[in-house]
């Protein structure tokens, strides 16, 4: 991008280049209105969105699953059949998003497309006057992250990022404990979430075998990424190909960094260094199967570390360490099981900073109001609390838990990590100019 082009100018041009939809179609659902919801993208994650909505019927039954949109004919028909089973009526089907968004009765859209498509489709949806639920990562380039944020902030739409753990009452309880000062000064957050298997690659994927170029729109699917010949493997396993995703970064780390922001009440690391490689699964993947990131939040004076390996599932955890106590979760992404343990004594030789005189501290289970049971180590990705929050905010017009600012923050963290790994050097966030640099920003 030329230095003579401003950031706002770039965003305006990029939004203008999106498919045209009528802005006059926006409608604000009232407390008793039936919200009309559609879906763009009908793959695996979109099926999770439908399950979340099905669960949310118990909280707010006044919505209809109105329409589905997918470039691949098989996906959209499969999703329409699934929706009929879940909600009782078969939704309308569309190949192209602009056709679905032209529906004046449509209120809101859930985006479950490829990682590289989220931001641009989000901008298209809010331009059309629809509220939105956008799967994470919001973006995996800084330009797309800025485009989406600008489009949302210029609209009056309610947008929920697909960072579902932000609505989990256990994660909210952890943040409340951090905010209370019970841990003392927070010094580090460490996450290690792992898996034993060739994540996101299925050698005999039936969809790869079934997809034919004439049944989709390959050029449209690329959505601004470098042109290449049609490849059904890339189409379905985009997470392992570097032109479309960072893999671990776009997926698990977007959740991890978003939770670190959430716990610490801060956004975007000041610097990030990533290292790793393809150490376990030497297949068609271009993205690492083993990766570690280390970042700092300078204002908070906190070290943030994150790691994933797909060669072993042992040792999942999250630890938030403070000078007077720590919080420990013995699970992976979104685990609701947390334990608090206090520091008993801080000392070196005769220099005693504090002594709580409580003997050997015992871990205390973190609970939420109304529950004393030990929660499981793992929980389902299809978290009802998050769609509950989205539906509630569409009626109240309040900001949802996964606001556009949380989406922008985790997107920048993802881009910094991707660039650091690929370029082999530390990346820095210039807060004043909103740029990612390979050197510390000027004071």
Digit-coded pLDDT (tens) for 268-278: 999 999 999 99
Cα radius of gyration rounded to whole Å, the chain: 22
Asked if residue 137 has a cis previous peptide bond (ω within 30° of 0), the answer is yes
Q: How far is CA 304 from CA 111, 117, 309, 334, in A?
A: 30, 28, 17, 17
**How many structural domains does the chain have?**
2
Do 296 and 331 fall within a single domain? yes
Q: Is the residue at 236 inside a domain?
A: yes
**What is the pTM (predicted TM-score) of this model?**
0.92
CATH code of the domain containing 329: 3.30.360.10
The token pair that represents 22 in the structure block: 């009528």
Task: Check whether residue 181 and residue 139 sit in a common domain.
Answer: no
Residue 6 lies in a domain: no
In a domain? residue 389: no
Least confident of 54-68, 96-110, 237-251, 355-369: 355-369
The rounded distance, in Å, linking the Cα atoms of 66 and 107 is 10
Question: Could you report the per-residue pLDDT of 366-418, keeping only the tens digit for each?
Answer: 999 988 899 999 999 999 999 999 999 999 999 999 999 999 999 999 999 99
Query: Residue 4 domain-assigned?
Result: no
Q: Residue 1's pLDDT is what?
A: 39
Same domain, 77 and 188: no
The average pLDDT across 166-180 equals: 98
Based on the domain organization, do 50 and 159 belong to the same domain? yes
* Inside any domain, residue 195: yes
354 and 242 in a common domain: yes
- Distance CA(109)–CA(373), nearest Å, equals 36
Residues 184 and 59 reside in one and the same domain: no
Transcribe 323-365 into DSSP letters.
SSEEEEE-SSTT----EEEE--EEEETTEEEEE---SS---EE
**C-alpha–C-alpha distance, residues 427 and 437, integer Å:** 6
pLDDT at 6: 43
Q: Apex CA 282: angle with CA 280 and CA 284, to 5°?
A: 135
Same structural domain for residues 151 and 239? Answer: no
Average pLDDT over residues 345-371: 84
Q: Are 279 and 162 in contact (CB under 8 A)?
A: no
Report which of 303, 297, 327 is spatially closest to residue 180, judged by C-alpha positions: 327
280, 426: one domain: yes
Does the structure show a pLDDT above 50 at 5?
Answer: no
Residues 101 and 153 both lie in one domain: yes
Tell me the residue range of the domain where 102 lies.
Answer: 35-165
Q: Which of 165, 195, 216 is the last residue of a domain?
A: 165
- Identify whether 367 is part of a domain: yes
Residue with the larger pLDDT of the pair 19 and 28: 28
Q: Do residues 64 and 397 touch, judged by C-beta distance below 8 A?
A: no
- In the structure encoding, which two tokens stand for residue 64, read together? 């209809």
What average pLDDT score do residues 160-168 get?
98
Q: Show which of 165, 195, 215 is a domain's final residue.
A: 165
């Amino acid at each position: 991008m030329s230095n003579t082009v401003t950031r706002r100018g770039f965003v305006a041009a990029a939004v203008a280049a999106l498919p045209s939809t009528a802005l006059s179609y926006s409608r604000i659902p009232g407390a008793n209105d039936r919200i009309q919801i559609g879906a763009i993208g009908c793959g695996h994650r979109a099926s999770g969105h439908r399950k979340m909505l099905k669960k949310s019927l118990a909280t707010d039954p006044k919505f209809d699953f109105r329409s589905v949109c997918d470039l691949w004919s098989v996906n959209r028909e499969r999703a329409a059949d699934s929706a009929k089973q879940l909600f009782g009526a078969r939704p309308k089907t569309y190949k192209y998003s602009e056709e679905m968004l032209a529906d004046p009765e449509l209120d809101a859209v859930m985006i479950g497309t490829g990682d590289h498509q989220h931001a641009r489709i989000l901008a298209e949806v809010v331009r059309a006057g629809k509220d939105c639920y956008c799967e994470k990562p919001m973006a995996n380039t800084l330009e797309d992250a800025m485009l989406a944020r600008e489009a949302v902030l210029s609209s009056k739409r309610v947008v929920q990022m697909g960072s579902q753990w932000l609505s989990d009452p256990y994660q909210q309880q952890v943040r409340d404990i951090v905010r209370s000062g019970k841990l003392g000064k927070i010094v580090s957050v460490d996450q290690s979430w792992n898996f034993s298997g060739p994540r996101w690659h299925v050698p005999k994927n039936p969809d790869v075998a079934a997809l034919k170029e004439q049944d989709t729109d390959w050029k449209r699917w690329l959505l601004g990424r470098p042109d290449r010949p049609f490849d059904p493997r890339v189409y379905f396993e985009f997470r392992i190909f570097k032109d479309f995703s960072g893999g671990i970064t776009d997926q698990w780390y977007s959740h991890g960094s978003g939770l670190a922001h959430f716990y610490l009440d801060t956004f975007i690391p000041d610097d990030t260094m990533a290292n790793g490689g393809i150490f376990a699964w030497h297949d068609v993947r271009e993205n690492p199967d083993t990766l570690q990131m280390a970042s700092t939040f300078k204002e908070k004076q906190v070290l943030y570390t994150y790691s994933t390996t797909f060669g072993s599932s042992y040792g999942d955890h999250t630890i938030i360490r403070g000078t007077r106590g720590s919080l420990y979760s013995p699970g992976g992404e979104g685990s609701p099981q947390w334990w608090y343990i206090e520091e008993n004594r801080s000392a070196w030789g005769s220099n005693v900073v504090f002594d709580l005189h409580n003997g050997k501290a015992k871990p205390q289970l973190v609970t939420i109001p109304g529950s004393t049971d030990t929660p499981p180590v793992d929980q389902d990705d299809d978290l009802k609390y998050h769609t509950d929050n989205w539906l509630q905010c569409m009626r109240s017009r309040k900001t949802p838990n996964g606001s556009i600012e949380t989406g922008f923050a985790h997107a920048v963290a993802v881009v910094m990590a991707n660039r650091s790994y690929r370029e082999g050097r530390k990346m820095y966030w210039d807060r004043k100019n909103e740029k990612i640099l390979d050197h510390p920003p000027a004071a």
